[in-house]
């Protein structure tokens, strides 16, 4: 009998120790989450405090002043970012949707699997390598940097992001919807566009937003394709074009074939310049960039979650 009592005492000690280890380590994981979030909060708060000071209307609508002269804005970067992201979206979104449809219809075929695989590979290729590729492909043949080249490399950055998220979203559409449409005699393309795509539209838009957020924050691929241009101003190109009676296409060509600035590119250059005004402005650029990216990310995700809850109760 006494042996049993000893066993019980030992056991209760073992139990207590196991429980203690359990609580200790699980508590530790909670601590790591807090630790992981500290840099995020730190960055956001710091950038807002530092960036807020330099942001005013001039910051958005004026070109940069000469180095060392205070004042001026970064409208060249804002316009350049918008132009290049539009180019990238026009190229990447339709192609990405077609690829997503291909992966939806032929998921287990040899080509389907290899396309899925190469999408994953493309999303893992370092952006600087894509930049070199864009330089060799789009800049060397025409011998000058341009918004075209920048937009095209950004399209390559966007493509895998949009493909993967839209494929996930298209997959969620019930098969019966597609079969019903085909049974009514609708051709496959019409079924795809007006049934499947419409049913998955919210998710697909979310995927596109994530792609935009990714493209707008990328610097490395633009270093050797868009290069940067402190005088880039779409409005002055349009005004000049109208004054000299150029056609719409000539003006568009002018806008797209100049070296172009972008927000992250400007941030990178300003942060390393010895002029304090520029460093101050780089915090403003960081604020604009970060707000854009985080709003696109969080906004689209929570919008999707909200819509899901609404439609599914």
Partner 1 sequence: MNNQRSLFPQRSNLRRQWSRYTNHGDRFWRGALFVSSLLILVLVLMIGWEVWVNSAPSRHAFGWEFISPWAQAVWNPALDRFNAWPSIYGSLITSFIALLLAVPFSVAVAIFLAELAPPTLRTPLNYMVEMLAAVPSVVYGLWGIYVFLPEIVHPIGVAVQDTLGIIPGFSIFFGGPIPASGISKLAAALILTIMVTPTIAAVTRDVFLAIPRSQREASLALGATHWETIWKVLIPMGLSGILGAVILGFGRAIGETMAVTMVIGNTSGGDYSILKPGYTMASIIANEFAEAVSELHSSALIEIALVLFVVTIILNAISRWLVMSVHRKTMGR
Residues 111-140 that bind partner 1 (CB under 8 A): 111, 114-115, 117-122, 124-130, 132-133, 135-137
Q: Out of 254, 297, 303, 307, point to the residue binding partner 1 (CB under 8 A).
A: 297
Measured in degrees and rounded to the nearest 5, phi and psi for residue 272 equal -105, 10
Q: Which is nearer to partner 1, 12 or 236 (CB)?
A: 12
Q: Which stretch binds partner 1 (CB under 8 A): 57-65, 169-177, 217-225, 233-241?
A: 217-225
264: contact with partner 1 by CB under 8 A: yes
Pick from 219, 127, 107: which is nearest to 168 by CA? 107
Min CB(76)–partner 1 separation in Å: 17
# chain residues binding partner 1, by CB under 8 A: 86
Which letter does DSSP use for residue 221 in this model?
A: G
Residues 52-111 that bind partner 1 (CB under 8 A): 94-95, 98-99, 101-103, 105, 111
Mapping DSSP to helix (H, G, I), strand (E, B) and coil, where does residue 19 land? helix
Q: Which stretch binds partner 1 (CB under 8 A): 32-40, 73-81, 200-208, 252-260?
A: 32-40
Cβ atoms within 10 A of the Cβ of 90, count? 11
236: contact with partner 1 by CB under 8 A: no
- Sign, CA torsion 142/147/153/156: negative
Q: Which is nearer to partner 1, 39 or 243 (CB)?
A: 39
2: contact with partner 1 by CB under 8 A: no
Q: Out of 1, 5, 6, 35, point to the residue binding partner 1 (CB under 8 A).
A: 35
Cβ atoms within 10 A of the Cβ of 237, count? 19
36: contact with partner 1 by CB under 8 A: yes
Is 182 exposed, middle or buried, given 0-12, 13-18 or 19+ CB atoms closer than 10 A?
middle
Min CB(275)–partner 1 separation in Å: 15
The most distant pair of C-alpha atoms in the chain lies apart, rounded to whole Å, by 108
Rounded distance, CA 150 to CA 261, Å? 9
């Amino acid at each position: 009998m006494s042996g049993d009592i000893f066993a019980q005492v030992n056991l209760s000690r073992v139990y207590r120790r196991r429980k203690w280890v359990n609580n200790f380590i699980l508590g530790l994981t909670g601590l790591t989450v807090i630790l992981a979030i500290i840099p995020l909060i730190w960055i956001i708060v710091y950038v807002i405090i530092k960036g807020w000071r330099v942001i005013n209307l001039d910051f958005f609508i004026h070109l940069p002043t000469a180095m060392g002269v205070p004042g001026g804005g970064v409208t060249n970067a804002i316009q350049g970012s918008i132009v290049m992201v539009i180019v990238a979206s026009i190229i990447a979104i339709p192609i990405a949707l077609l690829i997503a449809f291909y992966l939806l219809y032929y998921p287990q075929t040899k080509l389907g699997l290899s396309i899925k695989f190469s999408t994953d590979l493309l999303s893992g290729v370092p952006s600087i390598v894509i930049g070199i590729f864009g330089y060799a492909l789009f800049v060397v043949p025409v011998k000058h940097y341009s918004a075209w080249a920048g937009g095209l490399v950004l399209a390559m950055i966007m493509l895998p992001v949009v493909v993967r998220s839209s494929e996930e979203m298209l997959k969620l559409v019930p098969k019966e919807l597609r079969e019903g449409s085909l049974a009514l005699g609708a051709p496959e393309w019409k079924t795809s566009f007006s049934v499947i795509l419409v049913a998955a539209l919210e998710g697909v838009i979310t995927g596109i937003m994530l792609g935009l957020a990714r493209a707008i924050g990328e610097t490395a691929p633009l270093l050797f394709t868009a290069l940067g241009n402190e005088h880039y101003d779409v409005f002055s190109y349009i005004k000049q074009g109208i004054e000299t009676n150029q056609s719409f296409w000539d003006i568009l060509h002018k806008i797209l074939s100049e070296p172009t600035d972008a927000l992250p590119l400007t941030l990178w250059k300003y942060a390393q310049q010895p002029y304090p005004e520029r460093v101050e402005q780089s915090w403003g650029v960081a604020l604009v960039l970060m707000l854009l990216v985080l709003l696109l990310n969080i906004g689209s995700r929570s919008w999707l979650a909200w819509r899901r809850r609404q439609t599914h109760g």
